[in-house]
Structure 1
Amino acid sequence: MNYSQMKDERLLAFYENVREQVVLDAGSRYRFAGDGVRAYADELREEMERRRLRFTPIDWHHR
């Protein structure tokens, strides 16, 4: 997906939604944020880093 045309706020919101899901998954026996979601989040993170946006990184170790 091409994120270059997406507004900063939208990128941050999408990433935050994934981060929140990962946090929720940590307390559940079910996992909704799998490898595909992680790849999606990585793409968002790369674009946000390219733009030098400030964001809270996802802690994938607590999955």
Structure 2
Amino acid sequence: MGDLEAEWTEETMQRITAENTALKQRVRQLTADNRTLDERLKAARSNLRFQDRRVADLEARVTEPAPKS
């Protein structure tokens, strides 16, 4: 590894370090974005389950026989 590093210029090492820092920041941002999207997806699924139960309840009411007067 020492031989490889000896061939690198200071400018090259600075560029690689800067790119590495930028990539790490991008990974952090993508991880945060993924977490946010995952939370939204869970909320949407929960809302859908609620709506499915509500529709089933309304369908059951519609199919019940009408009360006799």
> Which interval holds the TM-score relative to the shorter structure?
0.3 to 0.5
| TM, length-normalised to structure 1 | 0.35
Larger radius of gyration: 2
| TM, length-normalised to structure 2 | 0.32
Which has more helix, going by share of residues? 2
RCO greater where, 1 or 2, for CA within 8 Å and sep 6 or more?
Answer: 1
